[in-house]
């Protein structure tokens, strides 16, 4: 995996940051100890160096434990297609195939790292499931992914965020070490900063006014939804009365919230968004009756 940085004008500061992030060093003495005993990466043909400088990047490998944690958080299965952005030596792409049975694709800008990753893929015996692309993550198309992993710094995460949010609702995103600004993660992974990662599910865009058909006694209702990424809220108008929806939750293309019916009984409206409309049921433990919704 790669850390990506703009400029890299002060290499000494950058390399210090790499050591702090990569090894969790708490003081200069422990950092110096790591420098004194450098780890070896790569193979006989190419050995990348921890903190090596590339085109606006420095290279920091993801640990085996963090790679496993990220893929487990995304609940990767053999049905998934995992894209790793800034794939480095191919570690996550290989682990997705070897340990979870998924198909995977890595995108790496550095040609030597790309070739190293391809050799690692062959050595791991997963060449039938893993493909490594030498390319630019901002130019390659990864829209078919069901899982995206990445290890970039804040400016790159923020540049990628609009693209990630346009992906199919339900796509799982896992970022090593760095978040997505004001797009709050669904889960924070890891017990400390050294093994921190962030997990999101791409939400459907459901904001707006929806007409719901099939409510109580075949009455229609209107729900007005406001949305900030996966956070949703709003009001429901039923029997001419407006009420605040309760416990609204949006996970991928699945929306649910609670409301009070005509007898002040708490019910749950549970719906799935198909890209244009929503359908589902009003629930009380079990489905009571079906409903559909269309956006104005």
Same domain, 123 and 159: yes
Same domain, 239 and 163: no
Backbone angles phi, psi at 291, to 5 degrees: -140, 160
pLDDT of residue 32: 46
**Domain that includes residue 143, residue range:** 2-201
Please provide the size of the chain in residues: 296
Burial environment of residue 233 by CB neighbours within 10 A (0 to 12, 13 to 18, 19 or more): middle
What is the CB neighbour count within 10 angstroms for residue 47? 12
More confident residue, 105 or 49: 105
**CA–CA distance, 195 with 70 (Å, rounded to integer):** 10
Residue 144 CA to its chain's centroid (Å): 14
Task: Please tell me the total count of domains within the chain.
Answer: 2
pLDDT of residue 262: 87
What is the distance between the terminal CA atoms of the chain, rounded to a whole angstrom? 44
Same domain, 253 and 277: yes
Contact 279, 270 (CB under 8 A): no
Same domain, 126 and 238: no
Structure confidence at residue 114 as a pLDDT band (50, 70, 90): very high
Q: What is the pTM of this model?
A: 0.85
CB proximity list for 135: less than 8 A, separation 6 or greater: 107, 108, 109
pLDDT at 242 over 90: yes
What's the chain's average pLDDT? 88
Same domain, 182 and 285: no
Same domain, 159 and 212: no
Least confident of 22-31, 50-59, 98-107, 223-232: 22-31
pLDDT at 127 over 60: yes
CATH code (residue 65): 3.40.50.150
Mean pLDDT computed over 41-59: 79
Which is nearest to 124 in space by CA: 89, 157, 153? 89
Report which secondary-structure segment, H or E, holds 120.
helix 111-124
Least confident of 15-24, 152-161, 193-202, 237-246: 15-24
Same domain, 17 and 142: yes
pLDDT at 31 over 60: no
Which is nearest to 176 in space by CA: 156, 192, 197? 197
Domain boundary among 171, 201, 231: 201
Same domain, 187 and 213: no
Domain boundary among 201, 226, 244: 201
Mean pLDDT computed over 9-19: 41
pLDDT in tens, 191-220: 888 899 999 999 999 999 999 999 886 688
Same domain, 13 and 129: yes
**CA–CA distance, 123 with 135 (Å, rounded to integer):** 22
Q: DSSP label at 53?
A: B
pLDDT at 1 over 60: no
Least confident of 43-52, 126-135, 230-239, 259-268: 43-52
Same domain, 11 and 38: yes
Same domain, 266 and 188: no
Q: How far lies 182's CA from each of 154, 158, 161, 162, in Å? A: 11, 10, 10, 12
CB proximity list for 190: less than 8 A, separation 6 or greater: 66, 69, 196, 197
The pair of three-digit structure tokens given for residue 48, joined into one six-digit string: 């990348």
What is the CB neighbour count within 10 angstroms for residue 136? 11
């Amino acid at each position: 995996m790669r850390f990506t940085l703009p400029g890299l004008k002060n290499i000494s500061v950058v390399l210090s940051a790499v050591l702090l992030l990569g090894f969790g060093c708490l003081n200069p003495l422990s950092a110096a100890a790591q420098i004194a005993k450098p780890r070896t990466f790569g193979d006989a043909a190419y050995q990348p160096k921890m903190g090596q400088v590339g085109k606006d990047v420095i290279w920091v490998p993801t640990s085996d434990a963090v790679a496993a944690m990220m893929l487990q958080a995304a609940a990767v299965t053999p049905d998934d297609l995992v894209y790793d952005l800034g794939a480095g030596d191919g570690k996550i792409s290989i682990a997705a195939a070897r340990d979870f049975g998924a198909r995977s694709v890595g995108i790496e800008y550095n040609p030597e790292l790309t070739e190293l990753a391809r050799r690692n893929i062959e050595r791991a015996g997963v060449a039938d499931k893993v493909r490594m692309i030498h390319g630019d993550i901002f130019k390659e198309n990864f829209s078919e992914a069901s899982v995206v992993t990445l290890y970039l710094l804040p400016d790159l995460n923020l540049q990628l965020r609009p693209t990630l949010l346009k992906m199919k609702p339900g796509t799982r995103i896992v970022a090593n070490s760095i978040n997505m600004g004001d797009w709050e993660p669904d889960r924070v992974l890891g017990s400390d900063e050294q093994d921190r990662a962030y997990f999101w599910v791409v939400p459907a865009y459901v904001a707006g006014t929806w007409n719901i058909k099939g409510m109580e006694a075949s009455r229609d209702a209107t729900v007005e939804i406001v949305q900030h990424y996966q956070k949703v809220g709003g009001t429901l108008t039923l029997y001419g009365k407006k009420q605040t929806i309760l416990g609204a939750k949006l996970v991928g293309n699945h929306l649910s919230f609670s409301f009070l019916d005509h007898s002040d009984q708490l019910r749950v409206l549970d719906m799935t968004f198909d890209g244009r409309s929503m359908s589902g049921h009003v629930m009380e433990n079990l489905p009571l009756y079906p409903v559909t919704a269309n956006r104005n």
